[in-house]
Structure 1
Amino acid sequence: MAYIVKTNQLTKVYDGNEVVSTVDMHVKRGEIYGFLGPNGAGKTTIMKMLTNLAKPTSGEIEIFGEKLTDRSYEVLKRMGTIIEYPIFYEKLTAQENLELHCEYMGYYDKNEIGHVLDLVKLTNVDGKRVRDFSLGMKQRLGIARAIMTKPELLILDEPINGLDPVGIRELRELFKMLSKEYGITIIVSSHILAEIEQMADTIGVINNGRLIAEVSMEHVRHSQTDFIELIVSEGKKAAFILDSQLRITNFKCIDERCIRIYDMSVSQKILSKTLIEHDIEIEEISRKTSSLEDYFLKLINGGGIHA
């Protein structure tokens, strides 16, 4: 298996607090690796260590088959990154910012600048200084800069921040194209799980500094289950009826009104009839399939699907 990125027992301690704990990460060549976790879980810290912006307290990082050190200049030239918020020379234009980037990266095909601006749909900005850009425009420019030098590895921390739904879709398709057509390996974090679900090949789930799962999206899809979702007027009463009258135990109360039933042996017709007979108003009943969000929350909460 060809891994572009591997970590071995990667650990980072800040002020006596272990924010990343013994992480063993494996990213295959050419894949999109979705990095998921709650705020403060350690995603950005790991990305900073992968790009030499932070030094591990212990453990090792291997990129392109080489151990990452303070002198890994050539390795870093083969990477493109956005970590946290992209920073630019605010008084310069997008074109001028990218020209400077090419200079300090030793990349001299400046004809590519127009091409990458088109790729990220950042057009009609000639003469407009970056300080006048919206947050979404700055995100697009950050991605343009990250892909400007045709990197083999992209590390993107929340790259769709500040974008509207159209922009999010456009960049999702761009990342998939870069992976499939150019063979670029992408590590991308996002709090929008539905986006990761639509583009990732593998997901890594981190919580409290520990990598608790690293699985293919194919595995996640195969593990997804069907369920019936009920929206009712009285959740507690409905749960009692499911248990006492229909002998259903494999369900979960999501909140005071929403119940998910994982026992598919009972038809929606029987469910509706029984609940109505016990004066429970049904606002919605539908058959659904669990999502990456369900899988993620199950891992983070460390629990199963039973009530």
Structure 2
Amino acid sequence: MTYILKTSHLTKTFQGKDVVQDVSMKLTQGEIYGFLGPNGAGKTTVMKMITNLIKPTGGEIELFGEKLSEDSFQVLKRIGSIIEYPFFYERLTAQDNLDLHCEYMGFYDKKAVKDALELVNLQNLGKKPVKDFSLGMKQRLGIARAVITKPDLLILDEPINGLDPVGIKEMRDLFKMLSQQFGITLLVSSHILGEIEQIADTIGVIRSGRLVEEVAMSSIRDMNTEYIELTTSDSRKAAYVLESKLNILNYKVVNEQLIRIYSDGMSRGELAKGLVNENVDIESLTIKKNSLEDYFMELVQGGEGVA
């Protein structure tokens, strides 16, 4: 199989420290690949290596079946990207900025500029300079610039940063449309796991520079078993009652106040009655399902913030 993007044992060392280690990932045409990891895990560094902004210390990158090198100018023309914060000519308008980008890319299509601005809902801004744009508007313009040439691969580092809920939904719909209607492949990092869960076909989880998981989103959904979440003032006592009195062994003590109960042999009402009869304090008893967030936190071993 020929992949749109493939990395093999990708490594980057800064000042004697491996910030990316042995990362091998694969993206197929038209898929949305959600790239997740804690702060400082190496996501942006990987994206910069793929776009040839920095050179790998080791490993290889293949784009459209061709090994990336210093001379891969034509290959890079097939990529659109936002890496970190998008910068513009602040005194120029959105249209002027996109015109300049197209000139730089050797892409001459005035209608494409108009279409890109409409895609991100930035049409009809007149002569308003970019310096007067909000953070969300600048993020939208960055996405317009990334998609204007209809690239085969779109690399987006935190693309919904600064957007309000309406803007986030618009971008979600846009990404799905680019993937489904135009066959564009998207590599998207985000700290909003719920958004990745809604759009991604595949997720890759990176931790401390290493890719610890690459899995289809459908597989995660298949693992989304229902469970009962018990909040109590004393999880040790509750765990004792579950095992010795109620014969429930399939549970997990999350912390001193929280237990997840996976047994399907007892209803929530029966469970509540059994716990109350043994004087277990119940603050809440809720039916839940595992989510991408649960899966992610399990992989990064609980508790680091994501970005």
Q: Report the TM range for the smaller structure's normalisation.
A: over 0.9
d(CA) in 2 for partners of 1:240, 1:111: 68
d(CA) in 2 for partners of 1:232, 1:111: 61
Residue of structure 2 in register with 1:49 after alignment: 49
d(CA) in 2 for partners of 1:239, 1:99: 64
d(CA) in 1 for partners of 2:284, 2:127: 53
CA deviation map 1:76-113 (0-9, x unaligned): 11110000000111111111110100110001101221
Give runs of aligned pairs for residues 128-277 of structure 1, distance below 5 A: 128-277=128-277
d(CA) in 2 for partners of 1:247, 1:12: 51
Contact 1:94-1:129 at 8 Å conserved across structures: yes
Residue of structure 2 in register with 1:78 after alignment: 78
CA deviation map 1:154-204 (0-9, x unaligned): 000010111111111110110000000001010001111111111111111
d(CA) in 2 for partners of 1:233, 1:93: 58
TM-score by length of 2: 0.94
Percent of counterpart pairs with the same letter? 62
d(CA) in 2 for partners of 1:300, 1:262: 22
Q: 216-225 or 143-152: which moved more? A: 216-225
Deviation, structure 1 residue 15: 0.6
SS of residue matched to 2:249: coil
SS of residue matched to 2:279: coil
TM-score by length of 1: 0.94
Q: Unaligned regions of 5+ residues in structure 1, if any?
A: 303-307
Residue of structure 2 in register with 1:291 after alignment: 291
Does 1:6 pair with 2:42? no
- Across the aligned residues of Structure 1 and Structure 2, the Cα RMSD in angstroms comes to 1.5
d(CA) in 2 for partners of 1:128, 1:109: 22
Residue of structure 2 in register with 1:305 after alignment: none
Contact 2:35-2:188 at 8 Å conserved across structures: yes
SS of residue matched to 1:169: helix
Contact 2:230-2:259 at 8 Å conserved across structures: yes
Contact 2:204-2:211 at 8 Å conserved across structures: yes
Deviation, structure 1 residue 132: 1.1
Deviation, structure 1 residue 231: 2.5
The list of structure 1 runs, each at least 4 consecutive aligned residues, that deviate by more than 6 angstroms after superposition, is: none
Residue of structure 1 in register with 2:58 after alignment: 58
Contact 1:34-1:187 at 8 Å conserved across structures: yes
Contact 2:2-2:64 at 8 Å conserved across structures: no
d(CA) in 2 for partners of 1:255, 1:130: 48
Does 1:103 pair with 2:120? no
CA deviation map 1:200-247 (0-9, x unaligned): 111111111111111111111112211111233443432332233223
One-letter identity of the residue aligned with 2:299: L
SS of residue matched to 1:41: coil
Contact 1:2-1:29 at 8 Å conserved across structures: no
One-letter identity of the residue aligned with 2:152: E
One-letter identity of the residue aligned with 1:280: V
Q: Unaligned regions of 5+ residues in structure 2, if any?
A: 303-307
d(CA) in 1 for partners of 2:162, 2:235: 37
